[in-house]
Structure 1
Amino acid sequence: MLITWVISNPSLAIYSLALGPHIAHQRIQIIDFLCEALNIPHLTAYKDSSINFSRGANFAIAGSMSLSSYLFSHFNFGNPLMWKPNPKNILTQIGWFHNFVGERECQGKDEAACKLELGNALFWIGEIGGNDYARLLASSIGPAIANKEFIEQAVDHIYTLALGAKFLVIQRLPPIGCLPLQLATCPSNDRDQNGCSASANLVIKGHNNLLQKRLDEIRMQHKDSMILYIDYYNALTTILEKHTQYQFEEPFKACCGAGGGPFNYQPNLLCGAFGTSTCKDSSTHINFDGVHLTENMHLHLSDLFFNQGFCTPSFADLIKKKKGQ
């Protein structure tokens, strides 16, 4: 996802590009809690042309992928996430953002003025590859074809630095092997010490390690920029390991779904479909629908990211540097 944020200006503006859905009445993204911490409204959808975007815009497409739609169609992955057989590619969102910059943010400004505008922004690049892995791990093909490609695509998006961006936040992928989506479809003997899919999380760890290595290279190339790294993987597993301390009763069971059992997840009966039901209190669940986390889980993750050392450098360091520009 991608944010534009002017800290020193009381008229804050945020522009978000994300790989997941945004639902206005629920806080289902970390960005929602960041907006609240900054005392600004939640982001509105870019495609809603009736909205005034002076306070921000959201470019998210639910289920968006890094790999091409052609690849999913060509290999016939099946349909583990039934609402989008051939999902949109992230390049659609990137295109929307560049259109927004040209038509609104930098309209009437020369290149230098536009770079200055973007230099007063925080760019938040979210879980690139997360939705792809979720589909690949549930398919017969597996994720081996994609690991390096995801990293290079993430790096390509990080090179928005060339547009003048100086402040970036990059998210690690979460442990997808801990989602009901994966647990309900993998062998029961494929488990790690936390009860998650060991094979799936091994793939995600490899992705995160490679991403960290490439980020270190980018930091060396752009020493005047500040790149924050959010450790989504270890933040989520920290809560999972101590879930009762966070008042979570169901670490793996989806709040909304079908089938009951330890996961309450069926790939052909996703939340909202006929035959599914929703739990009475989602705050006791880590996972909402087998794929997405609950609002309460995002609240606790936000605290770990913003206040508890799961972001390096810290947000406090970023704000200090921004104010000292």
Structure 2
Amino acid sequence: MMNSKFLFLHVAIFIAILSFTPTSAHNKSRKSIAPSAPTSSQADYKGSFSAQVNFKGSFSKVYAFGDSYTDTGNAYHLGALKTFVKGIITHNSTNNLPGYRLSNGRLVIDYLCDALALPPLTPFKDLSTNSSAGVNFAIAGSTALSSDFFINHKIAHSLMWKAIPESFQTQIDWFHKFIQDTECKGKTLSECKIDFDNSLFWIGEMGGNDYARLYGSTVAVRFLTELAVNHVCKLVTTMLETGAKYIVVQGLPPAGCLPLNLALHPLHDRDAMGCSASANAIIQAHNELLQKKLDEIRRQFSGCMIVYADYWGAFHKILSNLKQFHFEEPFKACCGAGQGPFNFDLHRLCGATGSSTCADPSKFISWDGIHLTEAMHRHLAELLFNQGYCKPSFHDLIKMKTGT
């Protein structure tokens, strides 16, 4: 019998990949998150802004990196994933949103592009479509640690579509290939620099899959955190050295608040938010070290703007004010199966026979037990871009870019 720790290790990653659900038709009318003045119901948001800042046109391109919280189709187009989950997913494009997402609709990166008046990002693995507004290099299931790390430590998973994960290095390689073969082909260095000066680089969640893969292993958590954060920072510095001037780096969300971790951790392992305390402690340590390292990078690249996107703080804000954000189910999966408080069954995942989808996903934070609903992404985007949950604020980033 596999012990409980290793069962969690296998299942957590299996679910993260198996529950890859292409964007579905649960999307309702498209809502813009262009900046707006805080209303009375938003008075207690952290930070306030006395002046409006127009995001539209401030950047001509966005380059995105990360994992399933940012991927808009790369994992699907890699092929093996599509074959692996072929029997449990259907593609429904009635919401007119191209690509494949681990959600019932738009991600934060989609709302970012909407605010900038740019179309949804083209996945790197599907460059047959227009990439003039930027490219998404994020890969669902990818890790901050290198693939060699998992090989050397003999950490692989038979339940995975790919035992050894794609890593941040794959995304760096893709980026360099795109720059060489497409973006800067036939251009002078100065012309390429102008393009980068008008581009926003988004470093999405990176590290969550590392902690899930190594849960229960002999690798010390502190050592893992230092390695993971260092690899994220390598991605950041690589972009800066390539010519990036404006970068947003996303912190990790509280994974202990997701139905997956809540279902697999005992009831006595709960923090003040009602989430898994042990899982969230690891995430907090990661985010604290990441912010410290970003401060060091800012001093090294003083002419650039490096913004930390506080996903933890924004998530916590929503959990603490469910009615304000119109949520009714903070810990239950919209798409899943089984009885109990989480609508989560390891043997009947979202899309499998016996699973079902809730009538109104906008009332749920979690889509499938590990990924978020479009409604949650929309509220997170509002907090990050308009309500001061970026450090420095996203408004400050836009002001620096536009000179206003």
Q: TM-score, normalised by structure 2?
A: 0.72
8 Å CA contact 2:67–2:143 kept in 1: the answer is yes
The whole-number CA distance in structure 2 between the counterparts of 1:123 and 1:277 is 37
How far did 1:77 drift?
A: 5.8
8 Å CA contact 2:63–2:202 kept in 1: the answer is no
Q: What is the match of residue 113 of structure 1?
A: 191
Match of 2:63 among 6, 9, 15: 15
Q: What is the match of residue 98 of structure 1?
A: 176
8 Å CA contact 1:166–1:224 kept in 2: the answer is yes
Amino acid at match of 2:197: G
How far did 1:293 drift?
A: 0.6
Tell which deviates more after alignment, 288-297 or 125-134: 125-134
8 Å CA contact 2:65–2:138 kept in 1: the answer is yes
Q: What is the match of residue 360 of structure 2?
A: 281
Match of 1:190 among 269, 274, 277: 269
Q: TM-score, normalised by structure 1?
A: 0.89
How far did 1:179 drift?
A: 0.9
Q: What is the match of residue 294 of structure 1?
A: 373
8 Å CA contact 1:178–1:196 kept in 2: the answer is yes
The whole-number CA distance in structure 1 between the counterparts of 2:167 and 2:220 is 17
Q: Which runs of 5+ in 1 are unaligned?
A: 1-6
Correspondence list, 1:241-320, <5 A: 241-320=320-399
- Per-residue CA deviations over 1:185-214 (Å, capped at 9, x if unaligned) read 112210001110111111111111111111
Larger RCO (alpha carbons 8 Å, 6+ apart):
2
Correspondence list, 1:220-259, <5 A: 220-259=299-338
How far did 1:164 drift?
A: 1.3
- Per-residue CA deviations over 1:158-179 (Å, capped at 9, x if unaligned) read 1121111111111111111111
8 Å CA contact 1:255–1:288 kept in 2: the answer is yes
How far did 1:82 drift?
A: 5.2
The whole-number CA distance in structure 1 between the counterparts of 2:301 and 2:260 is 38
Q: Which runs of 5+ in 2 are unaligned?
A: 1-54, 74-96, 99-103
Match of 1:203 among 278, 282, 289: 282
8 Å CA contact 1:82–1:267 kept in 2: the answer is no
Q: What is the match of residue 3 of structure 1?
A: none
Work out whether 1:40 is the aligned partner of 2:90: no
- Per-residue CA deviations over 1:112-154 (Å, capped at 9, x if unaligned) read 43233222221111111022223334x4557614111111001
8 Å CA contact 1:184–1:265 kept in 2: the answer is yes
Identity %: 51
Work out whether 1:64 is the aligned partner of 2:114: no
1:270 counterpart SS class: coil
The whole-number CA distance in structure 2 between the counterparts of 1:110 and 1:208 is 38
How far did 1:22 drift?
A: 2.0
Amino acid at match of 2:192: C
